[in-house]
Structure 1
Amino acid sequence: MTLCRVVIADDHPLFRDGVARTLEETGRYRVCGRAGSGREAVALVAAEAPDLVILDLSMPDGGLWALERIAGDAGPVVAMLTVSEDSEAVFAALEAGARGYLLKGVGAAELVAVLDGLMEGQSHVAPSLAAKVLTRMRAPRRAEADPLDSLTPREEEILRLVAGGLSNKEVARRLDLQERTVKHHMTQILQKLQLRNRTEAALAAQRRWGDG
């Protein structure tokens, strides 16, 4: 039987050694490296080419930092084993390539069962976090706000006329305003849209509203 070669990274030696002992007692895993920081983990993975990497989230250099440098199509299976129940941390880990996210309260038998599943191609998120993950996945993504929506009705009116090819003087005449008032509004418009000049503003307006 081919042994699964494992690198364990955790900054608590007693916990790290306990996990190593649990895995090696199964006869299916062999710990080929133990790291106390994210940087050490990355170096060990490069040197040992393990099949499985177990990362703590909050160790020096950070588990996420190491994960981003270890995970990949040709990389090892990565499981996070941490105390963090922050849903943002879960998503960051999963998006960075972790196949599993386990909490340190997990028992030895369950840990081995989950890791066996990961090595067979399954994914796993700690049951107490699964509801948070599903809620986040089902939440509709907020569309990015269009800066044009921040314009006042008067500013939109002026920009539409500018986009139609009118000069400040012509806009002022059309709206019965002072030319300097139109210039002031255009300055505000450019600031809100974070554009450099009226040409860019006119193009943005045309993309949104057509030719005027």
Structure 2
Amino acid sequence: MRKTYDLDGSSLSGVPLTRDVGHSRYLELARASDSPQISYMNSQTTPTLLVEPNTLLREGLKRILAETAYSPVALAANFDEALAGWETSATPFLLIMDGARDHDEACGQVRQLKDQYASARVLMLVDHYDLKQIITAFQAGVDAYLIKSVSCEVLVKTLDLVMLGEVVFPSVVLELLREHALRADGETVMQSAEKVPDGTFQTKGLSVRETVILRCLMEGDSNKLIARKFDITEATVKVHVKAILRKIHAKNRTQAAIWASSHLPADEHAST
């Protein structure tokens, strides 16, 4: 089983992790070329194919990788051109490709490549990170996924890991997953009750007492304060709160308050 690394992991110790280098890093090293033709050259290093529709970026990446073990043996503006003149062997080869122009098409090409050449390794370069696109890319078989403004050092170290059979994902994925989880959690609570056609709200079987206690939770009242308001014991309040959480499928008092603010009518008056 392959390990999975993020760009902030200790496995990349000593590597600058700045992502603010920008396209200028490529442009500084690039020399504009008017020829759209693929160029092939002999190489004793890891066979590397580079697919990038932007000429400046393509030439810039070529120069960046020229002094590494991944000096491109084929440069092309699109996937088909890159593979057209490629003679593969049993040796694993590397494909560095653009995923920004048409992400879905690029993922489809990765699947095609992996089906035909199981030993191929793929690094996809994009303009920005999107959680759904990242997931789609890795499901397609992408081995590493980087933004185009990544530093040269991180790019090369990532290629090293990929050729060792590892999977490298951007650390921003963790942040995106956390945000997605929070949104999904909130939506689950918000959808736990639905408004019925006559404009009233379903209360998920809540009793009158549970409904007024739920309003207290919405206002941030503690169990002790609720007990004083209704002249009941704190133990009784806890029993009601547990019943409320169970009925509206909330995990805690905060979620219950969110549910109440969205699903209890504003003009409903608390009663005992």
TM-score range, shorter chain: 0.5 to 0.7
CA distance in 2, matches of 1:48, 1:32: 12
Change (3 A) 1:15 1:74: same
Q: Is the 8 A contact 1:99 1:118 kept in 2?
A: yes
SS in 2 for 1:124: strand
Deviation at 1:42, TM superposition (A): 4.2
Identity %: 26
* Structure 1: segments with no counterpart, 5+ residues: 141-212
Q: Which amino acid aligns with 1:16?
A: R
CA distance in 2, matches of 1:133, 1:6: 32
CA distance in 2, matches of 1:32, 1:132: 36
The aligned runs of 1:1-212 (5 Å cut-off) are: 3-26=45-68, 28-44=69-85, 46-48=86-88, 51-59=93-101, 62-72=105-115, 74-133=118-177
CA distance in 2, matches of 1:36, 1:9: 6
For each residue in 1:35-73, what CA deviation from the matched residue of structure 2 results, as whole angstroms up to 9, or x when unmatched?
2123324435x5345610011113469322321211247
Change (3 A) 1:75 1:121: closer
CA distance in 2, matches of 1:136, 1:42: 37
SS in 2 for 1:47: coil
SS in 1 for 2:161: helix
SS in 2 for 1:25: coil
Q: With the length of structure 2 as denominator, give the TM-score of the two structures.
A: 0.44
CA distance in 1, matches of 2:134, 2:120: 19
Q: Which amino acid aligns with 1:116?
A: D
Deviation at 1:134, TM superposition (A): 7.0
Q: Identify which of structures 1 and 2 has the higher relative contact order when contacts are C-alpha pairs closer than 8 Å and 6+ apart.
A: 2
Change (3 A) 1:6 1:136: farther
CA distance in 2, matches of 1:76, 1:134: 32
RMSD: 2.9
Q: Is the 8 A contact 1:64 1:93 kept in 2?
A: yes
Q: Which amino acid aligns with 1:52?
A: L
Change (3 A) 1:12 1:64: same
* Structure 2: segments with no counterpart, 5+ residues: 1-43, 186-272
Q: Is the 8 A contact 1:77 1:99 kept in 2?
A: yes
Deviation at 1:5, TM superposition (A): 1.0
Change (3 A) 1:130 1:13: farther
Q: Is the 8 A contact 1:57 1:84 kept in 2?
A: no
Q: Which amino acid aligns with 1:112?
A: V
Change (3 A) 1:69 1:107: same
CA distance in 1, matches of 2:66, 2:166: 21
Q: Is the 8 A contact 1:42 1:70 kept in 2?
A: no
Give 1 or 2: higher helix fraction: 1
CA distance in 2, matches of 1:10, 1:89: 18
For each residue in 1:81-136, what CA deviation from the matched residue of structure 2 results, as whole angstroms up to 9, or x when unmatched?
11131111111110010110111010111110111111112211122234325777
Moved more, 119-128 or 100-109: 119-128
For each residue in 1:127-152, what CA deviation from the matched residue of structure 2 results, as whole angstroms up to 9, or x when unmatched?
22343257779x89xxxxxxxxxxxx
Q: Which amino acid aligns with 1:25?
A: E
